[in-house]
Amino acid sequence: MSHRIFIVDDHPLVREMLSGLLNQQPDLRVCGDAESLEMALFRIKETQPDLAIVDIALPSGSGLDLVKQIKHVAPGCMALVLSMYDELTYAERAIRAGARGYLSKRDTTKRILLAVREVLAGRIYISEEFKSLVTEKFLVQGRAQEQEVQLSDRELEVFRLLGEGKETKQIADSLRISIKTVQVYCARIKEKYGLANHTELLRRAMRWVDSQEGGLPGSDG
């Protein structure tokens, strides 16, 4: 019996590539896909998959928000987050949101299949590199963490969208919050980073997004 998998990513090429990879496996079958949070929730409720592979950055909201909502529409569906963003920044947040694992789009197809099967077997998947970082974090007391990790989940989403060049209204529409609330988040981020004005915030956010750039999952070679 094949496990049924649903893919959520706003890039058609990623959805097509993952579908091709997973459908080649005798024990896995892609039962659907979606590019937005709303469509994903509708189709996941309709198809009731065993696993949803979810991108962090969606055009109509955060993949973390989707992970939190999946259990309400499909209680038997587990979530595995696949993203271009840094594992140290997002993996812990994804697990807290209810995901059973985190993968980078830089990972090989072999590692993707390993993660999928680990999660389907009821285990949590994170990379050995991230496990080492977490261990170091707890062993070295008083170590300053990366500032991005100190942001709340919502602050980080606002920060990411700013770095992608989105205007305040676009961020408000994407996250379904008011413009005033976006401005409050921006003020909090500036305070945490010690930034003097919005221009400095934009520069910082754009540099961070540039540093996160990744590609499609690599080959096994």
Q: Is the pLDDT assigned to residue 219 strictly greater than 50?
A: no
Q: Once rounded to an integer, what is the mean pLDDT over residues 37-65?
A: 92
Distances (CA, A) of 94 to 91, 140, 144, 200: 5, 23, 21, 28
**Most confident segment among 20-29, 130-139, 196-205:** 20-29
Contacts 24+ apart (CB under 8 A), 131-137: 133/88, 134/92
Residue 141 lies in a domain: no
Find the mean pLDDT for residues 130-154.
Answer: 58
Q: What's residue 213's pLDDT?
A: 57
Q: Among 92, 113, 134, which residue terminates a domain?
A: 134
**pLDDT of amino acid 77:** 97
The pLDDT of residue 104:
84
Length of the chain counted residue by residue? 221
Confirm whether 179 is domain-assigned. Answer: yes
Look over the chain and give the mean of its residue pLDDT values, rounded to a whole number. 85
160 and 125 within one domain:
no
Parallel, antiparallel or unpaired: strands 51-54 and 57-58: unpaired
User: What average pLDDT does range 205-213 have in this prediction?
Assistant: 79
Q: What is the pLDDT of residues 149-203, one digit of tens each?
A: 478 888 988 998 998 888 999 999 988 899 999 999 999 999 888 888 988 899 8
CA atoms within 13 Å, Cβ hemisphere of 3? 21
> For position 153, which CATH number holds?
1.10.10.10
Tell me what pLDDT residue 89 has: 74
For the whole model, what pTM was predicted? Answer: 0.70
For 111, other C-beta atoms within 10 Å of its C-beta total 17
CA-nearest of 14, 13, 44 to 31 is: 44
To the nearest 10°, report the CA torsion of 6, 7, 8, 13. -160
User: Which of 13-17, 19-23, 64-68, 133-137 is predicted least confidently?
Assistant: 133-137
Mean pLDDT of 86-104: 84
3-state helix, strand, coil in the chain (%, to 5): 55, 15, 30
Q: Give domain status of residue 29, yes or no.
A: yes
Task: Give the angle 24-44-219 at the CA atoms, nearest 5°.
Answer: 30
* Helices then strands, each counted (H, E), the chain: 11, 7
Query: Residue 127 carries which DSSP code?
Result: -
Q: Are residues 87 and 165 in the same domain?
A: no
The CATH number of whichever domain residue 105 belongs to comes to 3.40.50.2300
- Is 25 within a domain? yes
State the Cα–Cα distance between residues 111 and 104, nearest whole angstrom: 10
51 pLDDT more than 90: yes
CB 91 within 8 A of CB 130: yes
Same domain, 79 and 19: yes
Taking 70 as the threshold, does the pLDDT of residue 131 lie above it? Answer: no
Boundaries of domain holding 167: 147-211
Residue 145: left (phi > 0), alpha (psi -120 to 50), or beta? beta
Please say if the pLDDT value at position 142 is more than 50: no
